[in-house]
Amino acid sequence: MDTIDLDLRGVPCPLNAVRCQLAFEKLAVGEGLRAQLDSGEPLESVVNQFLDAGQRVDVERDTGQQATVLVTRISP
């Protein structure tokens, strides 16, 4: 599976969600986007954005300060 990695730590909302969406649009079904984000609102906003769109979302790590989330495209 191909994965795009983004480091969006320190990037404010909603810019982090916009950058994730732009990168995600380049993915084919089965490919993933791994994003490093600040915990709290940035993480929640990105997770909810992709869950609402019907994609698979796995929070791989959340230290309370920073988090890593993997979003896998399961539908076009």
Beta strands 56-62; 32-38: pairing state: unpaired
DSSP string for 9-44? TTPPTTHHHHHHHHHHTTPPTT-EEEEEEETTHHHH
Under DSSP, the state recorded for 64 is S
**What does each of the 76 residues of the chain score in pLDDT, given as a tens digit?**
699 999 999 999 999 999 999 999 999 999 999 999 999 999 999 999 999 999 999 999 999 999 999 999 999 8
| Structural domains of the chain sorted by starting position, each given as residue range(s) with its CATH number in brackets | 3-58 (3.30.110)
Q: Going by C-beta distance under 8 Å and a sequence separation of 6 or more, which residues neighbour residue 4?
A: 23, 24, 26, 27, 31, 32, 33, 34
pTM of the model: 0.94
Q: Residue 49: how many CB atoms within 10 A of its CB?
A: 19
